[in-house]
Structure 1
Amino acid sequence: MTQVRFGLQARFLLVMALTLLLVGAILASLLQRQSAMQREVRGLSAQILHELFDRSLRTRGETLATELASGLANPLYYSDLGAVGALVRNASRQQVVSYVLVFDRHGRLVHDGTPTLQRYGQAMTDPLAAKALAAQAMVLQSSPEVLDVTVPIKIGDQRIGGVRVGMSRERVRKIESGANLTLVQNLNAIGKRDLGWLLVLLAALVGLGVLLAIYVQRTLVAPIRLLAAAARQIERGDYAVQLPPHPRNDEIGELISAFGRMSESIARHDREVRHMAYTDALTGLTNRLGFREGLDHLLHTARSTDSKLALLFADIDDFKRVNDTLGHEAGDEALLQFASRISRAVAALGGDDAILARFGGDEFVILLQSGDVSLLAAQLADRLVHELSRPLNVQGREVFLGTSIGITLFPDDARDATALLKNGDIAMYQAKVAGKNCHRFYSRAADHAVERRVHMEHELRGAWERDELRLVYQPIYRTSDRVLVGVEVLLRWQHPALGTIAPSTFIDIAEQSGLIEVIGPKVLRAACLEAAQWPVVGEGLFVSVNVSPRQLRSGALIDTVAGCLAESGLPAARLHLELTETAVIGDEMMA
């Protein structure tokens, strides 16, 4: 049997053939792996982008709706359509917001974002409205067009309405489609370029194929994984994503740069939304929500460092009179001037770390953190009372107001934010009771005084209907001849449990609470009816009725007097109205 002989050439050819087969197999394997890797990367990228945009849309919707619900609570409660409209329009300007609807507790639209309020008062009839109206907490509903986020608006535990924010899925899909197309194009471009290099290198040297595969792995998958990690960080609410510096200027480098710019844009948007939610739109000061969150943090720090804090709770005296007589624009102008004066006083005496916020319509709070806060609070309160008692120039008119300030200390008076604010409010109320335009420190006795006053106010409501209030008449004589010419009406309160209550006590409560506007007309009517029944001798006795400052401010006094005279038949000459000098001076704008 003849043995086949392989020469050097055959062996070389055989080795070359085997080498080519091996290279071909490796090449085929690498090409298959490359194709699978690109499909995996494209699929992973598309999935990540979809999840990123979907979660970003959901997060932005939840954040915007929650912050709108917090910001709309007071405006909706006080039916301040201007403030409601400002918040709604600001939110509606965002690119991905389709609509913002604010509704009351009956489901009627309060604001739809249009300048003319075309749908004001209408019921919501869209398919998503039923669950939105029944929502007691945040409700998310989805349709192919929008993601509807509903958050109830509450004052305390009372639900007074809700806000619906429609986040446009169509706009997000367009952005996502464009980003995904760009990503696929970039990945395809990179894949084609790397494939060319791979073919050249594998043809030249088999060993470089493995290194090239590793290179492809690192240049394609690693950046995508980096972006995925950054996307998860944004999903957790950490918008300050710091991508590591990269020397690449290719498509992946452009993608990383674009992602970095996108994260900066999201972070900037988040800061703008937080600024809108935590800043008072009129004065530019921190609002109630921002101050409340900051107060919790500062109290925690003060507890850990055994520090003391002082809270000043300031309320403008008789501010409603400005709105009622000069209008809300004048009221806003007065608030701006008050805020400016308070800011200057706080900057001068409060220290660098003092915090000033507008807590409500005509309420301001100041938090002092350094030094002898008790002494500093008293000095600052004196300065504020002095500064704020100076006349304001509102629309070319001098307006005289004042401020009542309550001061409470941490930890002497309270250990938590809720109690501290409550004590400040109680102390402020005591300042008003003391005559207004002054300050008072919180004391335990103030709690009991407020409770007694609140109880007295509660008992006074309905006292007329329960026949506890009665009229007595004090005779008025002419001094020249000692002839009885008239009587003055006096109001007395005989409580079944408390006995006779002094007029100086309950009249002040009625005046402060506004009950005088209900009781006053009833007293006037009863006095006219009784006086009309008295025998007429000569000109007849006149009856004199005191008119309170609140009745004078209400603007309804003339109609009330005319109605009582017409009903009773009492001649107008026999009715005297007594206005105190204090009432006229205090209401000089009405006078």
Structure 2
Amino acid sequence: MRLPSGLQAMFLGLVSAALLIGLGAVALVLQQQDQAQKQILALSQRSMHALASQRLLLRGEAVSAQVADALVNPLYYFDLEAIGAAVGNVLRQPDVSYVIVYDADGNIVHDGSRDIERYGQRMDDAFALEVLAATGQHMQSDDQLLDVSMPILIGDQRLGGVRIGYSLATAKQDEDAMVATMQARLDQIARRHLLSVGLLLFVLVALGGLVAALLQRRLVRPVRKLADAAQRIEAGHYDVVVPADARQDEIGDLVRAFDRMRDSIARHDRDIRRMAYTDPLTGLANRLALRETLDQRLLEMQGAAGRLALLFADVDDFKRVNDTLGHDAGDAALVQFTARIDAAVHEFDVADALLARFGGDEFVVLLQLPGSSDADLRSVAGGLATRLVEEVARPIEVEGRRVFLGISIGITVFPDDAASAAMLLKNGDIAMYQAKLAGKNCHRFYSLAIDQAVERRMHMEHELRGAWDRGELSLAYQPVFRMTDKALVGIEALLRWQHPEFGNVAPPVFIDVAEQSGLIDVIGPQVLHAACVEAHAWQQRFPAATELFVAVNVSPRQLRSEAFATEVEAALRESGLSPRHLHLELTETAVIGNEARIGQLLGALRALGVKIWLDDFGTGFSGLSHLRRVPVDGVKIDRSFVADVLRDPDDLALTTAIISMAHSIGITVVAEGVEKEGQFEVLRERGCDLGQGFWLGHPLPAREFDALLG
């Protein structure tokens, strides 16, 4: 015969050994049982509420930080479509009640609705005041909502912020359901216990004391242990050991269920932390993990002699991969670059080195050498940077194509360069920017001089925005003459900047700023249009200018633009200038690396009648090959050869060879920088077609050029 198991079997066994039990002892046991059940239920409810709130808060902090990063550029350029897309993605997430993007004054920019019904309204809800006053991520809540806000910054400038409201209703329903389940389970246990005690009231009076002691040991103690474990889990100690119990009764079931619940909560916590601190594409630490690690290490080094180097790396021209091969190929390329960078970092075997993806194609490496000197740390950081440049420069295979890219790295050192994490990251970014200005695919250490240079350049970039509309940018026109009879045949449009603070800014300086910042995409079409309008006006007003052509310089960035051909056609159409009177000048460096596409573009423009000139000819590395692969109508001999043509036989021979070679394939030759009569005579004798320079004519504003034509 099989003996019954569980509490009933325990009670029956106690009855056979018991003599007498008192009603008072039974009542005491029942009271202790009821109190224990209430305590475990209350503690479990508080624990589950705290865990649910913590999970929702971690999710809100991670999502708000990611959305704030993603909204920097859209909010800066006031791109409501991009803002709406980002807001829509968040609104589709579970438990999200609202998403509000606001500007620095607290006015609503986007609220997620299709028509942005609250656009421009000031936030006036109960949370708004603290949101506007907060300088960092901020959380507020009431009985219904959890509001998480994050400011949107560009540098130190606050553009505004984003607020995400999470409904607590779902969490409350889940909590109530779990509490109800546990309550039902405890009620079931209580009912069974009550039945057992009822039976004992009749037969176990003599053994009351023994039964009470056994109940305390077999029931109350495990419940109290579970309550203690619940309190530790509530405090975030998920590694708490739940008291093991091999009993095959309800208490054993409860203990094992509680253990499984503990494991599930711990697993979800690990998943949330992994999502919050790990980059999903590369598996590296993300920006949040980097900031926390950097803050912790700087805190540990306060007052100590420790040193830390931060390498801020950016893959050069990575946008070209996404634009030409697609974002999936770009992701695949990033994964390969990550593997190379990680291997190079491990190759240096620096303890506690951290590699993180800062965002997009930017990576950060933290190097810490306890007890090292500044020279040692800089030597290791410089060596690692050199190694990274070598590794990334090697070609990679993406979708069957070889991709060549480089990496620019900025290095900054704690505590020499900065004392805070934010300043270290800023200085690393500044040094990386200098590496890009130095030609890319290299590294630079941060210095105060670099910082000041970047500040000046950023100020110049800021002032250059809108300079054309303010009338600070203008065109000067340098005449181009035919060498045989010194007849005026054309003009070259040259951009000038007269700034109220900087004065006359040298063209190479501000044009480089325009190139690097992308402002050339705006200024270039304006220059082209203005030059075409002015040239056509001169043709209409002066009989001697009916065949006058205008030459306009084209930057490499403009050539890479898909809209360039359309811009040229629009300038010709709106100005009325004949295409054969427009000459576009480009440098050899603008062609290198993409001859096929640029050759096709220039071929289309030549089909319209536009002339193509290769500027600074002779200074590149493959001029002859370009003349074969890129359709051009003429070349301009670089002024460095013309300057020494009278005293340097090599320059004279090279100039003569260029003229002969160009004429042999039917290409016109222009000499620039003609500043002496002797230079003019020598070039004319060698058969040079056209010339320009100070000896022939200085660049003139449009009004002064009228006199030359008249």
> Quick one: which of 124, 144, 147 aligns to 1:150?
147
SS in 2 for 1:488: strand
Shift of residue 384 of structure 1? Answer: 1.5
Q: Which amino acid aligns with 1:442?
A: Y
Shift of residue 587 of structure 1? Answer: 5.2
Superposed, which structure 2 residues align to 1:60-71 within 5 Å? 60-71=55-66
Segment of structure 1 superposing worse, 239-248 or 58-67: 239-248
Q: Is 1:30 aligned to residue 33 of structure 2? A: no
Q: Which amino acid aligns with 1:295?
A: L
Partner of 2:390: 386
CA, structure 1 residues 459+72, in 2 after alignment: closer, same or farther (shift >3 Å)?
closer
Superposed, which structure 2 residues align to 1:203-214 within 5 Å? 203=206, 209-214=208-213
Q: Which amino acid aligns with 1:325?
A: T
C-alpha contact (below 8 Å) 1:471/1:492 kept by paired residues: yes
Q: Is 1:59 aligned to residue 59 of structure 2? A: no
CA, structure 1 residues 367+80, in 2 after alignment: closer, same or farther (shift >3 Å)?
farther
Partner of 2:297: 298
- Quote the RMSD (CA, aligned, Å): 3.2
Q: Is 1:176 aligned to residue 179 of structure 2? A: yes
> Quick one: which of 422, 427, 433 aligns to 1:429?
433
> Quick one: which of 393, 401, 413 aligns to 1:397?
401
Superposed, which structure 2 residues align to 1:231-242 within 5 Å? 231-242=230-241
Shift of residue 426 of structure 1? Answer: 1.1
SS in 2 for 1:359: strand
Partner of 1:308: 307
Segment of structure 1 superposing worse, 572-581 or 364-373: 364-373
Q: Is 1:501 aligned to residue 502 of structure 2? A: no
Partner of 1:456: 460
Q: Give me the whole-angstrom Cα distance separating, in 2, the residues matched to 1:342 and 1:422.
A: 21
Partner of 1:8: none
C-alpha contact (below 8 Å) 2:476/2:493 kept by paired residues: yes
SS in 2 for 1:497: coil
Structure 1 unaligned regions, length at least 5: 1-22, 111-118
Partner of 1:41: 36
Partner of 2:280: 281
Q: Identity over aligned residues, as a percent?
A: 49
Partner of 1:349: 348
Shift of residue 564 of structure 1? Answer: 1.4
Q: Is 1:575 aligned to residue 582 of structure 2? A: yes
SS in 1 for 2:592: helix
Q: What is the number of equivalent residue pairs in this alignment?
A: 542
Q: Which amino acid aligns with 2:591?
A: V
Q: Is 1:550 aligned to residue 547 of structure 2? A: no
C-alpha contact (below 8 Å) 2:556/2:591 kept by paired residues: yes
Shift of residue 315 of structure 1? Answer: 1.0
Q: Which amino acid aligns with 1:47?
A: A
Q: Give me the whole-angstrom Cα distance separating, in 2, the residues matched to 1:107 and 1:498.
A: 36
Q: Give me the whole-angstrom Cα distance separating, in 1, the residues matched to 2:222 and 2:45.
A: 17
Q: Which amino acid aligns with 1:271?
A: R
CA, structure 1 residues 238+215, in 2 after alignment: closer, same or farther (shift >3 Å)?
same
Segment of structure 1 superposing worse, 336-345 or 52-61: 52-61
Superposed, which structure 2 residues align to 1:553-568 within 5 Å? 553-568=560-575
Q: Which amino acid aligns with 1:155?
A: I
Shift of residue 459 of structure 1? Answer: 2.1
C-alpha contact (below 8 Å) 1:151/1:163 kept by paired residues: yes
Segment of structure 1 superposing worse, 552-561 or 523-532: 552-561
Residue deviations 1:241-288 (CA, integer Å, cap 9, x gap): 222444644322332222122112111101101100111112111110
Partner of 2:68: 73
Partner of 1:165: 166
Shift of residue 200 of structure 1? Answer: 5.0
Residue deviations 1:260-319 (CA, integer Å, cap 9, x gap): 221121111011011001111121111101111111112223346522221110012222
Shift of residue 357 of structure 1? Answer: 0.7
CA, structure 1 residues 536+198, in 2 after alignment: closer, same or farther (shift >3 Å)?
farther
CA, structure 1 residues 210+121, in 2 after alignment: closer, same or farther (shift >3 Å)?
farther
TM-score, normalised relative to structure 2: 0.69
C-alpha contact (below 8 Å) 1:308/1:409 kept by paired residues: yes
Q: Which amino acid aligns with 2:33?
A: Q
Q: Give me the whole-angstrom Cα distance separating, in 2, the residues matched to 1:514 and 1:41.
A: 70
Segment of structure 1 superposing worse, 293-302 or 271-280: 293-302
C-alpha contact (below 8 Å) 2:536/2:575 kept by paired residues: yes
CA, structure 1 residues 75+495, in 2 after alignment: closer, same or farther (shift >3 Å)?
closer
Residue deviations 1:84-139 (CA, integer Å, cap 9, x gap): 898888xx6xxxx55576554447565xxxxxxxx867769xxxx99599582434
Shift of residue 367 of structure 1? Answer: 0.9
Partner of 1:138: 139
SS in 2 for 1:551: helix
Segment of structure 1 superposing worse, 328-337 or 238-247: 238-247
Residue deviations 1:362-383 (CA, integer Å, cap 9, x gap): 2110111237331121111112
Structure 2 unaligned regions, length at least 5: 1-18, 74-81, 103-107, 132-137, 599-710
Q: Which amino acid aligns with 2:186?
A: L
Shift of residue 199 of structure 1? Answer: 6.2
CA, structure 1 residues 123+196, in 2 after alignment: closer, same or farther (shift >3 Å)?
farther
Shift of residue 506 of structure 1? Answer: 1.0
Q: Give me the whole-angstrom Cα distance separating, in 1, the residues matched to 2:29 and 2:186.
A: 17
